[in-house]
């Protein structure tokens, strides 16, 4: 399997946790490859900022609260712009793709309400699909290029798993707002709605981080 993809997925899915050292030998054994392709994969991940160089080798990057704030600021900027451009350039097929992603998203939320915990993965997927449809509609590969590196970070926290039904439904409503703004070629509205949408996402992730911190503090307390 492709070493780059494998390691990236492993980081996103939390198999390799933040701070964990990624030894070449170890990864080579894990992927049944020699160190050469492993090293190339690591170099790529390093230039994307997913792993951070140590004195020797690299470790999975740890993102602080401040990182999250700044990365989401970046994302509002880029994705807000993408939405505004999508409103100007969208084709009928683009709209179709967005509607499709949104319906699937809605269906997955319904299944989630029926206690189908597996549907969370689909929710994440269809959410991504909706956002990608917008980015692709704005017809600017460079925006896509940078956004794809920005978007990965919050995934590391898997905060979607903490969403409750209300939050998911609100998110769906905002999607619909964004979609209709894009359909009506109302670029400023699309930009603002998208920006707000992403800020809401940021709030969720930050709240999630607070929760985790509290749990850690509790654990620390029981240590002595």
Judged by beta carbon, residue 50 or residue 120, the one nearer DNA is: 50
Q: Where are the alpha helices (DSSP H) in the chain?
A: 3-12, 24-31, 35-48, 65-89, 92-113, 119-137, 141-157, 165-183, 187-221
77 binds a second copy (CB under 8 A): yes
Residues of this chain, 19-38, that bind DNA according to CB under 7 A: 23-25, 32-37
Judged by beta carbon, residue 140 or residue 204, the one nearer a second copy is: 140
1 binds DNA (CB under 7 A): no
2 binds a second copy (CB under 8 A): no
User: Scanning the structure block, which residue is given the tokens 């969208």?
Assistant: 90
Q: Which of 9, 17, 25, 73 binds a second copy (CB under 8 A)?
A: 73
Residues with Cβ within 8 Å of 58's Cβ and at least 6 positions away in sequence, in order, are 21, 22, 42, 45, 46, 51, 52
Asked if residue 175 lies in contact with residue 102, where contact means CB atoms within 8 angstroms, the answer is yes
Coil, strand, or helix at residue 11? helix
Closest distance to DNA from the beta carbon of 39 (Å): 6
Give the footprint of a second copy on this chain (CB under 8 A).
Answer: 36, 39-40, 43-44, 46-49, 67, 70-71, 73-74, 77-78, 81, 140-143, 145-146, 149-150
Give the footprint of DNA on this chain (CB under 7 A).
Answer: 23-25, 32-37, 39, 54-57
């Amino acid at each position: 399997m492709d070493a780059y993809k494998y390691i990236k997925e492993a980081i996103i899915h939390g198999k390799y946790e933040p701070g964990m050292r990624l030894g070449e030998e170890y990864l080579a054994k894990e992927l049944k490859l020699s160190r050469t392709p492993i090293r190339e994969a690591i170099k790529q991940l390093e230039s994307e900022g997913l792993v951070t160089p140590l004195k020797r080798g690299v470790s999975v990057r740890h993102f602080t609260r401040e990182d999250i704030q700044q990365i989401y600021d970046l994302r509002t900027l880029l994705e807000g712009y993408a939405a505004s451009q999508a409103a100007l350039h969208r084709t009928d097929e683009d709209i179709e793709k967005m509607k499709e992603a949104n319906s699937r998203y809605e269906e997955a939320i319904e299944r989630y309400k029926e206690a189908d915990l597996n549907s969370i993965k689909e929710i994440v997927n269809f959410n991504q699909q909706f956002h990608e449809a917008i980015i692709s509609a704005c017809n600017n590969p460079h925006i896509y290029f940078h956004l794809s590196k920005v978007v990965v970070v919050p995934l590391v926290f898997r905060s979607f798993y903490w969403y409750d039904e209300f939050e998911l439904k609100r998110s769906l409503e905002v999607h619909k707002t964004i979609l209709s703004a894009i359909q009506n070629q109302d670029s400023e509205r699309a930009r603002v709605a998208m920006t707000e949408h992403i800020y809401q996402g940021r709030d969720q992730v930050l709240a999630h981080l607070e929760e985790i911190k509290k749990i850690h503090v509790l654990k620390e307390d029981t240590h002595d």
